[in-house]
Amino acid sequence: MKKFDAEIAVGIFVFIGLLCLGYISVKLGKINLIGSHYYPVNAVFSTVKGLKKDTVVEIAGVEVGKVDDIRLVDYEAVVTLRIRDGIELQEDAIASIRTKGLMGEKYVEIMPGGSDKVIEAGGSLYETEPPIDLEKLIGNFVFGKIKD
């Protein structure tokens, strides 16, 4: 009888350990299993050099969403952003592609606007700023194409 009790205790311990491992995997992997609490917003850029899917979207340095999709439409890059519910974007907000640090990864920064009109789900940000092409800027400086 004691062997049976020990086997049950070990089984329960292993089961609880697997549950904890699964929970930690979901939390660290930032997987959303219980539905989506985001709404889509499109932003049209002339170029999105270096931007990738699942890149962070920030407002005032706080993560408010992710890049969901990047596609080419009429020779312009249309970026679909997933913004958390409860975050309202004004129609005159500006979406910019920035770099973390000098050579870091790209992310999308949204600067809020002053309009009273709010973008609905599936709406678009019309004011955008493409990323700064650091290689082109350095090349222009080296070859003297930048004037004072």
Q: What is the pLDDT of residues 44-58, one digit of tens each?
A: 888 888 888 888 889
| pLDDT recorded at residue 118 | 83
Q: Tell whether the model's pLDDT for residue 2 goes beyond 70.
A: no
Taking CA atoms, 49 is separated from 13, 70, 112, 133, in Å, by 50, 11, 23, 8
| pLDDT recorded at residue 88 | 85
DSSP secondary structure of the chain: -HHHHHHHHHHHHHHHHHHHHHHHHHHHTT---S---EEEEEEEES--TT--TT-EEEETTEEEEEEEEEEEETTEEEEEEEEETT---BTT-EEEEEESTTT--EEEEEE----S-BPPTT-EE-EEEPPP-HHHHHHHHHTT----
What's the pTM? 0.66
| pLDDT recorded at residue 21 | 86
Rg (CA), the chain: 23
Q: Tell whether the model's pLDDT for residue 146 goes beyond 70.
A: no
What do you get for the CA distance between the two ends of the chain, in Å?
89
Q: What is the pLDDT of residues 112-141, one digit of tens each?
A: 888 788 888 888 888 887 777 667 777 777
Compute the distance between CA of residue 124 and CA of residue 8 in angstroms, rounded to an integer: 57
Task: Check if the beta carbon of residue 90 is closer than 8 Å to that of residue 112.
Answer: yes
Q: What is the pLDDT of residues 79-112, one digit of tens each?
A: 999 988 888 888 888 888 888 876 778 888 888 8
Alpha carbon 102 to its chain's center? 19
| pLDDT recorded at residue 85 | 85
| pLDDT recorded at residue 1 | 55
Q: What is the pLDDT of residues 7-38, one digit of tens each?
A: 888 889 899 999 988 888 777 766 655 556 88
Q: Which band of pLDDT confidence, cut at 50, 70 and 90, is reported for residue 3?
A: low
